[in-house]
Structure 1
Amino acid sequence: MSEQSHGGPEHSGAVEHAGAEESRQYAVDNPGLPPHRPRLADEDPRAAKRAERQVAFLFGLSIVGTLLFFVGYFVVGQIGPGTPISTVRLQNMLLGLGTAFAMFGIGVGIVHWAKTLMPDHETTELRHEVRTEADRQVAVGMIEDIIDETQVKRRPLLRNTLIGAGVLAVLPAIAIFRDLDDTDNRSEFAAENFGPERLRHTMWATDVRLVRDPTGTPIKASDVTIGSAFHVIPEGLNELDPHEMLNQKAKAVVLLMRLNPEDMQVSPEREDWNVDGIVAYSKVCTHVGCPVALYEQHTHHLLCPCHQSTFDLTQECKVIFGPAGHALPQLPIRVNEEGFLVARSDFHEPVGPAYWERG
């Protein structure tokens, strides 16, 4: 039986042949754009005004939510070990509701604005490369048309409430990241309790011994062999109050390793910061503060498991890959008379993320 009688692909019409039947029409023609269906706000000025008030109300709700957040964050006060549970619950409720209203109001308000007031005509335009000055002017004109279509200029109530909600919505995040203090001395706003100074100083000081984490066993230089890595804390850390111990450990935790001195590129000012290839670096990643805990002996790389930032131990923990923007701070060390590794001083720079105030 022939292929045609079997309905083969070459004769069934399932396969198109180049150049054949050029005048043949496609099975489905381009339907074009659907007819525009006007909304109620497009035909009724009262409906448009009502929609404008609804959007402004939602933006106002966002503003109220942000203010509610600040009431919970600043007015309720510092939460500590002795704080009554009722105060903790009140603050959590205010923070949660404030954040929810702030995000809900501005988000739903923008969506409602777009659905009810912004032009919704569907158009089709060809994309052209913007190269000539005339094309640039056309692009500028398109941007101006978009601004006009948003009706920002014609509806100052929406513009002003949106600006207010948008500006206030980011303030809680700024306050949270700015506030690095966890002491009861919040009202003084002292420089030593806020900002980079809080991360500049740790428990490391002259002649403080390096001890293993978490046992607290002192480390001798002879204990550190090439390729080994120790998780290190300052001596005396484990004797602190549990709350204070965690705060201090978050800043002071260190990685201790030993390299072949010939593989190291040491800056002139750091020549006495290592002991025959034994080096100590902060374990706190300079991206967002995750613990750097992976050491590759053959490549001499330290890796942060959170976002894959990679630091080269032979180049004083310089960033060679990933989002971290700063090398890991180095802890100067030496050997005391008993052969134990001790710190020469504290870190010479703040530990942790490379934020804008770091210097």
Structure 2
Amino acid sequence: MANDDDSKALDRAYQPSPGLGVAVSDPVQNPGLPPHRERMTDKDPKAMKAAVRTVYTLFYLSVAGSIWAVAAYMLFPIESGALIDVRHNNMFIGIGIAFALLAIGIGAIHWSKAIMSDKEYIEERHPTRGKDATREAAIKAFADANEESGFGRRTMIRNSLIAALVASVVPGITLFRGLAPFNTPENPIAGDPVALLSHTMWREGMRLARDPDGTPIRAADVQLGNAVHVIPEPLSELSHHDGYLEEKAKAIVLLMRLRPEQLIESEERKSWSYDGIVAYSKVCTHVGCPVALYEQQTHHLLCPCHQSQFDVTEHAKVIFGPAARPLPQLPIAVDDEGYLVAQSDFHEPVGPSFWERH
């Protein structure tokens, strides 16, 4: 009896309490897709026409934005050298391109949401390669997509989209013109990079000056281990309109002083330095970045763009990185007043090595 009583007690203990949920073995039923809700453009032909007008208007506005970007490039030429033109050029071209791309994006989204078919479809995946019938069905699917999107039928949307996409490329093509200026009667070598980089404004007897204030540099003021950023003295007198930036980009120099016995100089270049002071172009021979980092202990110059390194003790030869040749050396001397002066221009072209050089 005791055992029977214990069994009944256990049965009562495992009975579910009132109000508690009981697990069931029936699987969860698929609720299916919610009822399709028609859009306003599906129910009202006027709303559909308004949506179509909105889409092709946005595409044509994109065309206008692209045209404006090209016009801004011509209205505010950066070749003028005026800082205000450079700022306006960047701002208005950027606004035009941004507006053109934004209008295409908004128009495409509005087209897909308000005009294209929004009915739900379920397509079963087949386990094998498609047969001829499957391929024909695929062709039919493309035809159905064309019909549902209205791309072939709605000519205003189609034509405006094509025009917007074509026009959006034009500003980029136009901007490429600035990479290769054309020759002019005033500047017959404007479009010839070989001629432009073969000569700078350095001339015999021209004083070396500090960048950017143009103060001439005395040899006695250059301390051991110093690295001084240098420009030609007459450069500080030029305005931006007179080509200041263009001339500076080619003529910038880095001046350093080492112990004379640390320099490893070839016979023809021993006269190019003065009492351990050497001057090299700051324009990296890889892609033209400014070489402005000097390690005093190793006497290495470092280009921060792609990590090319040059050895100042031995004619700035390349010791690491992608640069293809040493930095051009500017021959220097000292005038009667103790100021550092150039003996001549660089003896080789400055700048990247990918330009063809004579």
- What TM-score, normalized by structure 1, do the two folds share? 0.56
Please tell me whether the aligned partners of residues 78 and 186 of structure 1 are also in contact (alpha carbons under 8 angstroms).
no
Matched, 1:281 2:281: yes
Please tell me whether the aligned partners of residues 66 and 169 of structure 1 are also in contact (alpha carbons under 8 angstroms).
yes
State the Cα distance separating 1:179 from its structure 2 match: 2.9
AA at the equivalent of 2:230: V
Please tell me whether the aligned partners of residues 286 and 327 of structure 1 are also in contact (alpha carbons under 8 angstroms).
yes
Q: Deviations over 1:185-230 (max 9, x none)?
A: 99879763357479635323566443332343246499474x4322
Please tell me whether the aligned partners of residues 333 and 343 of structure 2 are also in contact (alpha carbons under 8 angstroms).
no
Distance 1:166 1:272 in 2: 61
Counterpart in 2 of 1:192?
189
Alignment of 1:260-339 (within 5 A): 275=273, 278=278, 280-283=280-283, 292-298=291-297, 300-304=300-304, 309-314=306-311, 316=317, 320=321, 330-336=327-333, 338=335
Q: Deviations over 1:24-50 (max 9, x none)?
A: 99xx99988766544344566765554
State the Cα distance separating 1:56 from its structure 2 match: 1.6
Distance 1:297 1:32 in 2: 75
Counterpart in 2 of 1:210?
208
Counterpart in 1 of 2:254?
255
Counterpart in 2 of 1:342?
342
Q: Deviations over 1:255-280 (max 9, x none)?
A: 234679999999x9x98897579451
Counterpart in 1 of 2:64?
64
Counterpart in 1 of 2:242?
244
Task: Return 5+ residue gaps in structure 1 as ranges.
Answer: 1-22, 126-131
Count the aligned residue pairs.
308
Counterpart in 2 of 1:230?
228
Counterpart in 2 of 1:106?
104
Distance 1:191 1:29 in 2: 82
Distance 1:76 1:162 in 2: 29
Identical-residue share of aligned pairs (%): 36
Give the 3-state SS of the residue equivalent to 2:345 in structure 1.
coil
AA at the equivalent of 2:171: P
State the Cα distance separating 1:231 from its structure 2 match: 0.3
Please tell me whether the aligned partners of residues 118 and 151 of structure 1 are also in contact (alpha carbons under 8 angstroms).
yes
Q: Deviations over 1:290-333 (max 9, x none)?
A: 755433445635244xxx5432123746884xxxx866983332
State the Cα distance separating 1:344 from its structure 2 match: 4.5
Distance 1:290 1:50 in 2: 53
Give the 3-state SS of the residue equivalent to 2:294 in structure 1.
strand
Alignment of 1:1-12 (within 5 A): none
Q: Deviations over 1:35-93 (max 9, x none)?
A: 654434456676555433322211111112332344444368899699xx9x99x9999
Counterpart in 1 of 2:7?
none
Please tell me whether the aligned partners of residues 199 and 351 of structure 1 are also in contact (alpha carbons under 8 angstroms).
no
1:174/1:332 CA distance change after superposition, 3 Å:
farther
Distance 2:334 2:95 in 1: 59
What's the C-alpha RMSD, in Å, of the aligned pairs? 6.0
Give the 3-state SS of the residue equivalent to 1:161 in structure 2.
helix
Give the 3-state SS of the residue equivalent to 1:333 in structure 2.
coil
Q: Which has the higher helix share?
A: 2
Please tell me whether the aligned partners of residues 207 and 233 of structure 2 are also in contact (alpha carbons under 8 angstroms).
yes
- What TM-score, normalized by structure 2, do the two folds share? 0.56
Matched, 1:158 2:154: no
Alignment of 1:66-81 (within 5 A): 66-74=66-74
Give the 3-state SS of the residue equivalent to 1:179 in structure 2.
helix
Distance 1:174 1:282 in 2: 31
Between structure 1 and structure 2, the one with the greater Rg is 2
1:256/1:217 CA distance change after superposition, 3 Å:
same
AA at the equivalent of 1:313: F
1:32/1:310 CA distance change after superposition, 3 Å:
farther
Give the 3-state SS of the residue equivalent to 1:232 in structure 2.
strand
